[in-house]
């Protein structure tokens, strides 16, 4: 596995693995007809936007690491009560 693939599949650095996998599975199931998977694409886009905003806020506040770990993200989502995307 290349380093890029490892980074994309690392739960600590990529908060949207579940959404990414959903998009890919939808494409596979629908013969790569993108129109059938727009809801999955939108969810992935909203996920990336949400966690990017968290990352920017942490960076500005001097919190390291910039991206919360997988455990920290679970705590954030639990405090919200659900995924905001």
Decide: helix, strand or coil at residue 79: helix
> Cβ contacts of residue 34 below 8 Å, gap of 6+?
27, 41
Report H helices in the chain: 3-9, 17-29, 38-61, 70-80
Q: What's the whole-number mean pLDDT along residues 4-22?
A: 85
Band (75; pLDDT cuts 50, 70, 90)? very high
How far apart, in whole angstroms, are the C-alpha atoms of residue 65 and residue 55?
A: 9
How far apart, in whole angstroms, are the C-alpha atoms of residue 1 and residue 55?
A: 27
Q: Residue 24 has what pLDDT? A: 96
Q: pLDDT of 29-74, one tens digit each?
A: 999 999 999 999 999 999 999 999 999 999 999 999 999 999 999 9
């Amino acid at each position: 596995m290349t380093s890029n693939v490892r980074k994309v599949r690392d739960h600590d650095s990529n908060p949207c693995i579940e959404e990414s996998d959903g998009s890919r599975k939808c494409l596979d199931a629908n013969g790569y007809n993108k129109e059938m998977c727009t809801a999955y694409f939108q969810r992935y886009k909203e996920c990336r936007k949400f966690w990017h905003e968290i990352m920017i806020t942490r960076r500005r506040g001097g919190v390291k690491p910039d991206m919360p770990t997988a455990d920290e993200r679970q705590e954030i989502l639990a405090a919200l009560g659900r995924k905001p995307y």
